[in-house]
Amino acid sequence: MYKSFVEQTGMKGHLTIHKVVNGEEELVYDDQNVITSGFGWTLAHLYGNVGSQTITDYQIDRFQLGVSGNAALQVSTTYELSGPLSSSEEYTTDGDSNLLAVSSDLYLTDENVEEQVFAKIPFSKVTKISDSSVRYTIFIDEDSCNNLTRDGSDASLSEIGLFIKNPRNKPTTESVLVAIRTFSNITKTSDFGLLFRWTISFG
pLDDT value of position 1? 41
For the segment 72-85, the average pLDDT, to the nearest whole number, is: 88
152: left (phi over 0), alpha (psi -120 to 50) or beta: left
Percent with pLDDT over 70 in the chain:
95
Q: State pLDDT tens for residues 144-162.
A: 999 999 989 999 999 999 9
How far is it, in rounded angstroms, from Cα 177 to Cα 163?
4
Tell me the H-state helices in 30-178: 37-47, 88-91
For the segment 160-167, the average pLDDT, to the nearest whole number, is: 96
The secondary structure of 142-167, three-state, reads CCCCCCCEECCEECCEEEEEEEECCC
Q: Higher model confidence: residue 7 or residue 44? A: 44
Domain residue extents for the chain: 13-201
Q: State pLDDT tens for residues 22-48.
A: 999 999 999 998 999 898 888 888 888
Q: Residue 169 gets which letter from DSSP?
A: -
For the segment 44-66, the average pLDDT, to the nearest whole number, is: 91
Q: State pLDDT tens for residues 91-106.
A: 999 889 999 999 999 9
How far is it, in rounded angstroms, from Cα 141 to Cα 138?
9
- pTM, two decimal places: 0.93
